[in-house]
């Protein structure tokens, strides 16, 4: 894993750490260092440490009976968008194992409804988007993420409360999906092993895909800044569907948009 000015890149994702800021334009790679800062945050800055920080990619999950007690009772979006439940699910593995990171319980698709793209998560089947985005008219009609505090207030409640609960004993991690991965979900309408609909648009209407990626990029820059302001100390950027792209396609349809988010 490489680290550079609070930014690290992994196979299909990245993480970035920031000091909370008031405006997007003020986000920077500067953060005060000190012994009081948790291990993962210090290592994300590139500082030396006596061991490697440890956290799990799916830290809150079905392997815990306490988690299953909620997932058997409540649908996914209710769990991820109800602060009391999401906070409890985020803290369960930290209480049990004390990893170096606490990941807030959410999903990479969480910002989509604020843009006008509704989704649901069907147990045993995964995400479903009833009206996939496949035309320029649909892209142009999408909302901008101008006021996430109004459209996604629960995210702020969850992260700010978790920051207080953890109280410097671990690093609070937020995350977003890359524009490519979110576009692929939204164009397919579900997880698809071949990504056929998205690739048809990529080859026949690349301008539609680029317009959608650009819209998602601007929204995700705002959304990432919103998470940081709410209390996230390290941000993870997931490109879960990057494996659907050739190196040339990745260089055109994913990497430039992901780099814009990191640079912001």
Q: How far is CA 7 from CA 41, 218, 227, in A?
A: 11, 19, 16
230 vs 149: CA distance, rounded Å: 10
State how far Cα 18 lies from the chain centre.
Answer: 15
14 vs 175: CA distance, rounded Å: 9
pLDDT at 62: 83
pLDDT at 35: 52
**Residue that the structure tokens 């210090």 belong to:** 42
Q: What is the pTM for the complete model shown?
A: 0.85
pLDDT at 185: 96
DSSP string, 26-71: G--S-----TTS-HHHHHHTT---SS-----TT-SSTTSHHHHHHH
State how far Cα 77 lies from the chain centre.
Answer: 15
**Residue that the structure tokens 């920031």 belong to:** 18
138 vs 89: CA distance, rounded Å: 35
pLDDT at 17: 43
pLDDT along the chain (264 residues), means of 10: 33 40 37 68 94 86 90 94 97 95 96 97 88 97 97 98 96 97 96 91 98 98 98 96 96 98 94
224 vs 222: CA distance, rounded Å: 6
pLDDT at 210: 98
């Amino acid at each position: 894993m490489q680290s550079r000015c609070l930014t690290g890149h992994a196979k299909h994702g990245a993480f970035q750490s920031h000091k909370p800021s008031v405006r997007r334009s003020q986000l920077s790679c500067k953060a005060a260092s000190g012994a009081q800062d948790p291990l993962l945050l210090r290592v994300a800055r590139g500082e030396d440490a006596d061991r490697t920080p440890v956290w799990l990619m799916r830290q809150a999950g079905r392997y815990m009976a306490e988690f299953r007690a909620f997932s058997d009772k409540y649908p996914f979006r209710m769990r991820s968008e109800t602060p009391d439940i999401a906070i409890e699910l985020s803290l369960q593995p930290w209480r049990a194992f004390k990893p170096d990171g606490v990941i807030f319980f959410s999903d990479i698709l969480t910002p989509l409804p604020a843009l006008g793209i509704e989704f649901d998560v069907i147990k045993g089947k995964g995400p479903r988007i009833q009206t996939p985005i496949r035309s320029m008219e649909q892209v142009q009609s999408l909302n901008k993420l101008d006021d996430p505090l109004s459209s996604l207030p629960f995210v702020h409640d969850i992260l700010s409360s978790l920051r207080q609960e953890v109280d410097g004993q671990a690093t609070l991690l937020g995350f977003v999906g890359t524009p490519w991965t979110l576009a692929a979900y939204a164009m397919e309408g579900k997880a698809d092993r071949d990504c056929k609909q998205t690739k048809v648009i990529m080859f026949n209407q690349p301008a539609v895909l680029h317009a959608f990626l650009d819209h998602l990029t601007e929204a995700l820059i705002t959304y990432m800044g919103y998470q940081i302001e709410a209390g996230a100390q390290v941000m993870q950027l997931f490109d879960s569907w990057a494996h659907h792209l050739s190196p040339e396609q990745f260089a055109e349809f994913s990497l430039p948009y992901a780099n814009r988010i990191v640079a912001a």
